[in-house]
Structure 1
Amino acid sequence: MNIDKELDARNLNCPLPILRCKKALNELNSEQILKIMATDPGSKKDFDAFCRQTGHTLLEMQETEGVFTFWIRKRSA
């Protein structure tokens, strides 16, 4: 998967991972992909809800050793 920007939100608690994700997505063009790494266990449901509410696409989510990695495609303009 071609990543256009990465965001390290590890060791940040809600709502900071979502707020930083929103800021990073604002810096991307439509259809570009943002990779986010977070350690907050609530981030799984937070990013799912964020994408449903904003129209962005949650392409994939993986968990490895307590780190949640999300790939989000920015919605079309």
Structure 2
Amino acid sequence: MKIAVVVANGKAARKIISEADGIRTGEYILAGEEFIVNSKGESVISYADYAIAMVDEIEKGNHIRQRISVLGK
């Protein structure tokens, strides 16, 4: 499943692109509520890397009651 980033009226609407068959890299970018892209200009993450990021956040507990987002490097 992939969902693209849509730009309308000069504003980017964030839509997460998740790759079920994407490879596990073990690397991700932790972001806040604002839309960001990686060095390739993409906002994409594999299911495996997303799962790693969520477990890391649960274990570390650094963002209690905060909204975060993650994307692949």
- Give the structure-2-normalised TM-score: 0.32
- Name the one with the larger helix percent: 1
Which of the two has greater strand per residue?
Answer: 1
* TM-score, normalised relative to structure 1: 0.31
Bigger Rg over Cα: 2
